[in-house]
């Protein structure tokens, strides 16, 4: 009996089943009720007691081997079926690949574009590498004037000066040079300043510039436009306040605060207990700028504003470290739902 079982083990191990039918033959021959393995188990009671232990172990090995073979045959046949053409199962669920999500800065930029689009502002872009004329001179920064130091510049070439633009106001100049009023546009883009990186500042950031030039454009138009924007962006109950400021390219100039969207103006650590947070710079386009760009300041007037997208995104989503926008950590990026 021992030899018989050992022989069967070898036979099973070398058995090949390339079709369903061969696999079924195997099952019938060895494992079915009338197959060889159950009949050997039947004969087991006739084995002399002193051999029972050894033969029992062998018999169990034989049975396990036969069952393993059947599983192997099944797996092989399944694989073959899957890879053979014309046998593709179209109802099988697809492998799930990880879907990306839109960056929070892109979401907010798109929302800004959408808000101004609803009141007739169209979108344009300009180059990130600029000459001195478009970044400074045409914007009424006098040669050697300390106002140029307001923004620490990354220069690429000297004489003539070529630099990474320090603000999107350069796109105002390019637009006015190339088009006639009425102009009603916004200019989103990346800007660069030589600043130390911290939770509140970065050497690369994003702005959206706005420009409206036509006959009889007034400061009241600027104020209403910005109030509309603040309410659309931060909610109907938002108030604005304009504080006098200075920019070479606008006169008069102002900085705009919105009532703190976190505490509603009561005072919290976001607004440093003032109830207000600053979000942009603005003003009436200086007549010198219109003139530099070939627009008659006697006939036309205009307003301009510029805001930082990082700052608005931080306020909107209560993000307290600007560096998070540049790290591309998926755990951070996945938290933003792209409604824009």
Residue 281 touches ligand PHE, criterion: CB under 6 A: yes
Residue 290 near residue 297, CB atoms below 8 Å: yes
Residue 252 to residues 141, 244, 249, 274: CA-CA distances in angstroms? Answer: 15, 8, 9, 25
Question: Where does this chain touch ligand PHE (CB under 6 A) — which range of 6-14, 64-72, 279-287, 289-297?
Answer: 279-287
Residue 250 and residue 247: Cα distance in Å, rounded?
A: 6
- What is the smallest separation between the CB atom of 170 and ligand PHE, expressed in angstroms? 9
Q: Does 309 interact with ligand PHE (rule: CB under 6 A)? A: no
Choose which of 109, 148, 167, 184 interacts with ligand PHE (CB under 6 A).
Answer: 167
Asked if 305 touches ligand PHE (CB under 6 A), the answer is: yes
How many whole angstroms separate alpha carbon 283 and alpha carbon 100? 39
User: In this chain, which stretch among 48-56, 111-119, 278-286, 329-337 interacts with ligand PHE, using CB under 6 A?
Assistant: 278-286
Total residues binding ligand PHE (CB under 6 A): 11
Is residue 121 at the binding interface for ligand PHE, with CB under 6 A as the rule?
Answer: no
Among 185, 163, 175, which residue's Cα sits nearest to residue 289? 175
Question: Inter-axis angle of helices 104-117 and 309-317, to 10 degrees?
Answer: 100
Q: Closer to ligand PHE by CB, 188 or 283: give it.
A: 283
- Is residue 206 within 8 Å of 128, Cβ to Cβ? no
One of 304, 312, 314, 322 touching ligand PHE (CB under 6 A): 304
Smallest gap from Cβ 223 to ligand PHE, in A, equals 14
Residue 169 binding ligand PHE, by CB under 6 A:
yes
Q: What x/- string results for residues 172 through 211 when contact with ligand PHE is judged by CB under 6 A?
A: -------------------------------------x--
Exactly one of 306, 309, 311, 325 binds ligand PHE (CB under 6 A); that residue is 306
Whichever of 69 and 168 has its CB closer to ligand PHE, that residue is: 168
Residues that bind ligand PHE (CB under 6 A): 167, 169, 209, 247, 250, 281-283, 304-306
């Amino acid at each position: 009996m021992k030899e018989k079982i050992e022989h069967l083990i070898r036979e099973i191990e070398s058995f090949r089943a390339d079709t369903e039918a061969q696999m079924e033959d195997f099952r019938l021959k060895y494992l079915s009720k009338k197959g060889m393995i159950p009949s050997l188990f039947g004969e087991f009671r006739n084995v002399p007691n002193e051999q029972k232990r050894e033969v029992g172990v062998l018999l169990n090995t034989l049975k396990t081997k036969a069952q393993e073979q059947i599983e192997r045959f099944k797996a092989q046949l399944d694989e073959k079926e899957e890879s053979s053409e014309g046998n593709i199962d179209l109802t099988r669920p697809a492998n799930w690949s990880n879907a990306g999500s839109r960056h929070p800065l892109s979401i907010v930029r798109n929302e800004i574009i959408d808000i101004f689009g609803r009141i007739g502002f169209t979108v344009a872009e300009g180059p990130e590498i600029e000459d001195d004329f478009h970044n400074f001179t045409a914007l009424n920064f006098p040669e050697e004037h300390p106002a140029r130091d307001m923004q620490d510049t990354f220069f690429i070439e000297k004489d003539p000066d070529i630099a990474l633009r320090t603000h999107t106001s350069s796109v105002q100049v390019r637009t006015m040079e190339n088009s006639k009023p009425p102009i009603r546009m916004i200019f989103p883009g990346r800007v660069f300043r030589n600043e130390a990186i911290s939770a509140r500042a970065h050497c690369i950031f994003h702005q959206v510039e706005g420009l409206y030039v036509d006959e009889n454009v007034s400061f009241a138009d600027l104020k209403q436009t910005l109030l509309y924007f603040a309410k659309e962006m931060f909610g109907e109950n938002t108030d604005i306040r304009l504080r006098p400021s200075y920019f070479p390219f606008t006169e008069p100039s102002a900085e705009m605060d919105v009532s703190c969207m976190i505490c509603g103006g009561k005072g919290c650590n976001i607004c440093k207990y003032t109830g207000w947070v600053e979000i942009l710079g603005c003003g009436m386009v200086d007549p010198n700028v219109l003139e530099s760009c070939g627009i008659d300041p006697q006939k036309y007037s205009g307003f301009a504003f510029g805001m930082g997208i990082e700052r608005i995104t931080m306020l909107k989503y209560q993000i307290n470290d600007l560096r998070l926008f540049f790290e591309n950590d998926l755990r951070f990026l996945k938290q933003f739902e792209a409604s824009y």
